[in-house]
């Protein structure tokens, strides 16, 4: 030491000062290094973090599974830095995410917005509205004829005997029929109602009760083939109704055959043939003037051979008062029954609503001759006499199976009492005057 001091002393003073400063600086540097080492044992890790890196939740899961369970020592980290090993780098990134970038803050992907738009509820199908409005339009003349008068009658301040007489008249003139009208008058006038809207509601309820009794469509076929015979006076809409029925049952998945047992007119045979081509049914005809029973016989044979589900037999229009023609109808029915027991399974009479009360009489006569199983009431569009359906339902014990509300294929509706009454009593702009 003495030799060192002597050496220093032998230098000029300025060198000694520099040396002292250097030693002090070195000590200070080492001290700082030591303190910082104590305060932070992970210097190397913080240096190597990548603050700007974006990691998805999936990446994070992969990263977690790749990281080995034991903690990594600082020395190992140093070594790894030198060799650029992937495990260590990923470990560092994991810590970064857990502390600074919560996974919940990852913005939602744009596809989710698109899915929401696609899943919006589809608009309600317009079909039911169209059906009701079509029926309302069809019944508009009956509605105007009946309720146009009723509104005027009950708008008076006092409801007396004269008011009820007028009520009765308006029902009769809408072809509801005398007997049915008398019953309706008795029930409604006896309920002591004075308010026009209450009287209308009571009438609606009573009409619904009557029509409910007459409801009945053709829900299932009773045999294979099920045989349906269609009769009625001239021009009521038999052949048109057969076309509409064939169309409906074919659409329901059945194999349908139509038979032209109206041999009276050549044009009648062609008319049915056109319908069968239009709807895609099988077709059987005889020569003009042939015995209609022979055509019915052929039709049964052919429908059995071809695996037909429904055979519909058209017949010539005839006046219910002509006995010989009614006998011919009975014969057709008998032949059908002989070939297939219990057939015809349906005997439909087609009635034209525009004939009003006459339709009730036709139904009675045909029923006596061939025992009717159901009524099809056509041409309810375009008539103010639609009230006849109430008389039919009240006076005859025969179900109304279908109603015709136009000439188009889809203008045949299964009769539904509630739908019918709603359309008849509907108020609003669907009424066509």
Ligand X SMILES: Nc1nc2c(ncn2[C@@H]2O[C@H](COP(=O)(O)OP(=O)(O)OP(=O)(O)O)[C@@H](O)[C@H]2O)c(=O)[nH]1
Count other C-beta atoms under 10 Å from residue 88's C-beta.
21
User: Does 394 engage in binding with ligand X (CB under 6 A)?
Assistant: no
Measured in degrees and rounded to the nearest 5, phi and psi for residue 319 equal -75, 135
Minimum CB–partner distance for residue 376 and ligand X (Å): 9
Which residues are near Mg ion by CB under 5 A?
A: 238-239, 268
Minimum CB–partner distance for residue 194 and Mg ion (Å): 50
264 vs 420 by CB, closer to Mg ion: 264
The residue with tokens 């001091």 is 5
Choosing from 128, 217, 235, 337, the residue that interacts with ligand X (CB under 6 A) is: 235
Which residue, judged by CB position, is nearest to ligand X in the bound state? 317
Minimum CB–partner distance for residue 377 and ligand X (Å): 9
Interface region with ligand X, contact rule CB under 6 A, candidates 123-131, 232-240, 356-364, 389-397: 232-240
User: Does 406 engage in binding with ligand X (CB under 6 A)?
Assistant: yes
Q: Decide if 377 contacts 411 (C-beta within 8 A).
A: no
Interface region with ligand X, contact rule CB under 6 A, candidates 120-128, 151-159, 161-169, 403-411: 403-411
Choosing from 96, 175, 346, 381, the residue that interacts with ligand X (CB under 6 A) is: 381
Which among ligand X, Mg ion, none contacts residue 404 (Cβ within 5 to 8 A by kind)?
ligand X
Which among ligand X, Mg ion, none contacts residue 381 (Cβ within 5 to 8 A by kind)?
ligand X
Minimum CB–partner distance for residue 245 and Mg ion (Å): 13
User: Does 379 engage in binding with ligand X (CB under 6 A)?
Assistant: yes
Interface region with ligand X, contact rule CB under 6 A, candidates 49-57, 99-107, 237-245, 294-302: 237-245
Which among Mg ion, ligand X, none contacts residue 234 (Cβ within 5 to 8 A by kind)?
ligand X
């Amino acid at each position: 030491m003495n030799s060192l001091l002597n050496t220093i002393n032998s230098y000029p003073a300025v060198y000694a000062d520099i040396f002292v400063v250097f030693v002090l600086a070195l000590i200070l540097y080492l001290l700082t290094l030591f303190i910082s080492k104590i305060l932070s044992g992970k210097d190397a890790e913080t240096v190597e973090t990548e603050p700007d890196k974006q990691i998805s939740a999936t990446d994070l899961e992969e990263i977690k599974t790749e990281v080995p369970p034991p903690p990594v020592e600082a020395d190992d980290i140093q070594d790894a830095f030198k060799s650029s090993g992937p495990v260590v780098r990923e470990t560092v990134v994991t810590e970064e995410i857990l502390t600074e970038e919560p996974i919940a803050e990852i913005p939602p992907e744009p596809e989710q917005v698109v899915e929401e738009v696609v899943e919006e509820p589809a608009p309600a199908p317009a079909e039911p509205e169209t059906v009701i409005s079509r029926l309302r339009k069809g019944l508009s003349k009956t509605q105007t004829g009946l309720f146009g008068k009723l509104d005027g009658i009950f708008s008076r301040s006092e409801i007396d005997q004269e008011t009820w007489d007028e009520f009765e008249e308006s029902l009769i003139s809408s072809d509801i029929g005398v007997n049915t009208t008398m019953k309706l008058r008795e029930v409604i006038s006896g309920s002591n109602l004075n308010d026009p809207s209450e009287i209308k509601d009571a009438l609606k309820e009573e009409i619904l009760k009557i029509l409910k009794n007459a409801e009945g469509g053709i829900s299932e076929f009773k045999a294979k083939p099920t045989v349906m015979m269609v009769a009625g006076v001239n021009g009521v809409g038999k052949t048109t109704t057969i076309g509409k029925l064939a169309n409906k049952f074919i659409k329901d998945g059945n194999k349908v055959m139509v038979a032209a047992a109206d041999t009276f007119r050549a044009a009648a045979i062609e008319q049915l043939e056109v319908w069968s081509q239009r709807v895609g049914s099988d077709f059987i005809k005889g020569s003009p003037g042939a015995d209609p029973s022979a055509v019915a016989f052929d039709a049964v044979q052919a429908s059995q051979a071809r695996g037909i589900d429904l055979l519909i037999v058209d017949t010539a229009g005839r006046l219910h008062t002509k006995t010989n023609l009614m006998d011919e109808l009975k014969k057709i029915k008998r032949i059908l029954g002989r070939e297939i027991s219990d057939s015809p399974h349906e005997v439909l009479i087609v009635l034209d609503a525009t004939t009003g009360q006459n339709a009730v009489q036709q139904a009675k006569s045909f029923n006596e001759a061939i025992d009717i199983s159901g009524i099809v009431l056509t041409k309810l569009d375009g008539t103010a006499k639609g009230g006849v359906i109430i008389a039919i339902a009240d006076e005859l014990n025969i179900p109304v199976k279908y109603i015709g509300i136009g000439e188009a294929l889809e203008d045949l509706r299964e009769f539904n009492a509630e739908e019918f009454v709603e359309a008849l009593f509907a108020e609003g702009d669907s009424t066509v005057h």
